[in-house]
Structure 1
Amino acid sequence: MHYSAQKSGFLHSPGYPIKVAKLCAGLALIVLSGILSAAPESEALPLLIRNVTPVDAKHGLMQTQDVLIDAGHIQSMGKNLAAPTGAAIIDGQGRFLTPGLWDMHVHLSYDSRFIDIMPDLFLDYGITSVRDTGGDLKRLKPILASLYGPGAEAPRVFFAGPLLDGSPVVYGGNDESGIGEGHLTAAQARSKINALVAAGVDFIKIYEMVSPEVFDAFVVEASLHNLPIAAHVPLSMLASDAAPRVQSMEHLRNLEMDCARDADALLEERRVLLEAGQEQPGMSLRSSIHRAQRDPAIQNEDPARCERVLASLSATIQVPTARLNAMTQYPPFAQNDWGQALDALPESISSEWRKASMYMDPNSYKVAGEWTLGMIPRLAARNIRIGAGTDTPIGWAIPGYSLHRELEILVAAGLDTQIAFAAATLVPASFFGVEDRMGQVAQGYQADLLLLDTNPLDDIRHSRDIRLVILRGKIVRDHRRKH
């Protein structure tokens, strides 16, 4: 498996410097940065985990040993380590120490009902880092400030700001989430990137309605600021043209249109539809194009052309959100633990979501779901990196719980268990260029860790068997009393 990284991006969480240019962006950013820097990493007491078996996606199953954690990092690993004064000693005999998990595709501000509960749920399920792939900064910044306030416990958050869209905006206008913004010219695109840099974003997210000219401006300007790019394939472009210029692509969406025998004709048809549909709401225009082209493109694949398309993805992480795309094949409400997972949500949400089966058309995404599941092993066979993301809370995605379902579906689709585990540990770290300090159980790495009762490389479902969650070197969830 190839884990090359784009050496860009930075963390707002403790231990990572904020770029000098961003420190001068204004009082609001200074206040926010100060709050985020205040997370009490250094207050955690030393932890010594005795006789534990470390496991990660790079090294696999390691030798049973002691692991010493202090100042938010793994300080040393080996046999019979000396316990520092005041260290808490944990018996890890028969258990497994893994990196904390990531969800590469969440929207913290999408649904206000989730804002207060999302951080706790992520930690309950062992998710210690998330990538917020689109949010209104006016809503998102207060959320981030609260997550890193005094005494708060929350995953690390990497955020992009709004979906950088074209016209008409998909998530704009009357949409409650307000997570999309339109850009019609290259000058507007360049200006927006500079504004986002000043706002302190960790990456940018390009959406589906942008023109090729605006896409190009976003990419060029983002590269000047070393900002990684997550993107949907714009409807006005081919995946093979867009993919090499971004660091991740989301949902595998619009990839199938480039694999079709008549891909070039479909592209011209989309461009005509986009031009003629400027007075329509963005969501309805996009949906109508998908309905018209997606399933026929899948059913009309040109294998030789698709090989060339897949070759264009070699340096770009694919985040398939399989639990969303293949919901027809794997409906969440069909899981035995669905009701129990819903019990952790506020009644206003759980009562609504218990009726999910009433609202889902079982045939709505059947073809696309089967195509997604079939594409996952094809990507892996070509050493194309796959990232684990859920689109939480969209599509009945319970924060945390849905990440484990994503991993299980990736494996059910044919992904090797170790590669699936990498999708939620090493691959997200590589997107931000921090794989030299996150995503492994190794000396010097950030101490975002899980103590599991069973080995997740034997069965990916074992990633749920969490005994301890350690974040920045501090135990933030202790489930020992529940066992």
Structure 2
Amino acid sequence: MFVTTMIIATMTFAQAPKPVIIRNVTPLDAHSGVMATQDVLIVDGRIASMGQGLAAPSSATLIDGTGSFLSPGLWDMHVHLSYDDRFTGVMSKLFLDYGITSVRDTGGKLERLLPVLDAHYTPPAKAPRVFFAGPLLDGAPLVYGGDQDSGIGQSVVTTEEARLRVQQLHKAGVHFIKIYEMVTPDVFDAFVREADKLGLPIAAHVPLSMLASNAAPRVQSLEHLRNVEMDCAADAEALLEERREMLAGGRENDSDGMSLRRSIHTVQRNRAIANEDADRCDRVLASLRNTIQVPTARLNAMTQHPPFNDAGWTDVLSTLPASVRVDWIKAADYMDPESYRKQGEWTLQMLPRLVASDVTIGAGTDTPIGWAVPGYSLHRELEILVKAGLDTQTALAAATLVPAQFFGLEATLGKVAEGYRADLLLLQQNPLEDIRHSRSIRAVISRGAIVRDYREEQ
């Protein structure tokens, strides 16, 4: 995966966290599986040592881990922290409450996002690690533009603009860049070359003017599996030409980008799914092997797995701001269950095919878009991945090891091992036995500090 010299996103503590010793706990992760029951000592935000009968500083906080499991903290690889102002004050708490200790913000105007991060990282605030991309780097017409939807997109139409924009974002401190669907192939190429030069990983949607098999090998992650289905069609080249003509017409007529994209998807997506060429699709999947796929299955398969059918959905909504509760309690009334049925079915049957083709899966939710409760929705994503055919180890890796690999941080994050950063969950049950056990949280440790201790509430 992409190796970068970026600095890990950190939160400044008023003082260094106290040492923590967890006695008689069973560590587990997606790399080593379930390990022997032992003690785990955390000092200065890292796992200092693991073993039997460890000595600990007298100042250490003691946790009795008897009968419990110690897992790496979870990631959500696809979030938008500044998309909806109603979530600004609660998002960090929700993430940590559900054991999400790192997130990848995949699109937000820096003018809106940076103040949110400042508030999250000002002591005594507690927040997950945040790795951010800045705005969606899009073409014309712009999909997310103006004041709508937080104006998270930015139009870039020349290769020189692309080069300069990546340089500006690098100077602004972004951890990666995000390429969107309306970019032209030459601008896409300019983004990639400049990001490579500066050591920035790239997350992307497949541009509508390109084939997935041409775009995927040049970026480090693809989002939503969107537009992959058009490359799997028997008439993929004809569909590509049709898209390019529609895009050119949209630019000439100064069309609304959101409407134009919707029109292209309406014309082509279900048609492509119905006309899949299995051999061609196998070749497309092979082209994805060095690129993490973040399918956001809970979003794509909303028809098959609507969140408002979950037991306890009303209780989950009670954790949200009142304005959101009033809106989201009506979610079932807003959704047209047939609109995305085919795309949902395609996503769910594609997931095991991706794994069989040695394609790496990452876990992301697009929260708060599409009734995605921050934190809660990551657990739903993992459960949907497993229902679709992934094993529990692959699913856990998707929310621990894989996100760290995207940033070249797999030597410090994503495992329970000596020297690793202490982002950890104390669980009542083993998620490698049943992925639903990822919800059985007893305590959350972020950067070596206990940020939520459910034992005190029992």
TM bin, normalised by shorter chain, reads over 0.9
- Of residues 299, 316, 319, the one that matches 2:274 is 299
Cα 1:250/1:163, change in 2 over 3 Å: same
- 2:355 counterpart letter in structure 1: A
Counterpart residue number, 2:371: 396
- Of residues 211, 223, 242, the one that matches 1:269 is 242
| Deviation by residue 1:273-329 (Cα, 9 ceiling, x = unmatched) | 000012111000000000000001001000010011001001000000000000000
Structure 1 residue 11 displacement after superposition: 3.7
Question: TM-score of the superposition, structure 2-length normalised?
Answer: 0.98
Q: Distance in 1 between matches of 2:425 and 2:147?
A: 41
Structure 1 residue 176 displacement after superposition: 3.5
Counterpart residue number, 1:8: 4
- Are the equivalent residues in 2 in contact too, given 1:9–1:227 (CA < 8 A)? no
Counterpart residue number, 2:155: 182
Q: Distance in 2 between matches of 1:85 and 1:56?
A: 29
Counterpart residue number, 1:117: 90
Structure 1 residue 151 displacement after superposition: 1.0
Matched, 1:481 2:448: no
1:340-359 superposed matches below 5 A: 340-359=315-334
- 1:143 counterpart letter in structure 2: V
- 1:6 counterpart letter in structure 2: F
Counterpart residue number, 2:441: 466
Structure 1 residue 269 displacement after superposition: 0.1
Q: Distance in 2 between matches of 1:84 and 1:482?
A: 26
Q: Distance in 1 between matches of 2:4 and 2:365?
A: 23
- Of residues 83, 86, 90, the one that matches 2:56 is 83
What secondary structure does 1:43 align onto? coil
- 1:270 counterpart letter in structure 2: R
- 1:394 counterpart letter in structure 2: I
Structure 1 residue 173 displacement after superposition: 2.5
- Are the equivalent residues in 2 in contact too, given 1:9–1:203 (CA < 8 A)? no
| Deviation by residue 1:24-46 (Cα, 9 ceiling, x = unmatched) | xxxxxxxxxxxx5x345x61111
Counterpart residue number, 1:62: 35
Structure 1 residue 482 displacement after superposition: 3.2
Aligned positions, number: 456
Structure 1 residue 382 displacement after superposition: 1.6
Counterpart residue number, 2:417: 442
| Deviation by residue 1:116-157 (Cα, 9 ceiling, x = unmatched) | 110000000000000000000000011111111121100000
Structure 1 residue 85 displacement after superposition: 2.2
- Of residues 357, 363, 380, the one that matches 1:405 is 380
- Of residues 326, 343, 349, the one that matches 1:374 is 349
- Are the equivalent residues in 2 in contact too, given 1:52–1:94 (CA < 8 A)? yes
- 2:24 counterpart letter in structure 1: N
Structure 1 residue 174 displacement after superposition: 4.3
- Are the equivalent residues in 2 in contact too, given 1:9–1:202 (CA < 8 A)? no
What secondary structure does 2:150 align onto? coil
Structure 1 residue 465 displacement after superposition: 0.5
- 1:131 counterpart letter in structure 2: R
| Deviation by residue 1:182-210 (Cα, 9 ceiling, x = unmatched) | 01100000010010011000000000000
- 1:356 counterpart letter in structure 2: A
Q: Distance in 2 between matches of 1:482 and 1:354?
A: 27
Runs of 5+ unmatched residues, structure 2: none
Matched, 1:101 2:74: yes
- Are the equivalent residues in 2 in contact too, given 1:193–1:221 (CA < 8 A)? yes
1:126-141 superposed matches below 5 A: 126-141=99-114
Matched, 1:248 2:217: no
What secondary structure does 1:54 align onto? strand
Runs of 5+ unmatched residues, structure 1: 15-35
The CA RMSD over aligned residues, in Å, is 0.9
Matched-pair identity in %: 66
Q: Distance in 2 between matches of 1:176 and 1:458?
A: 40
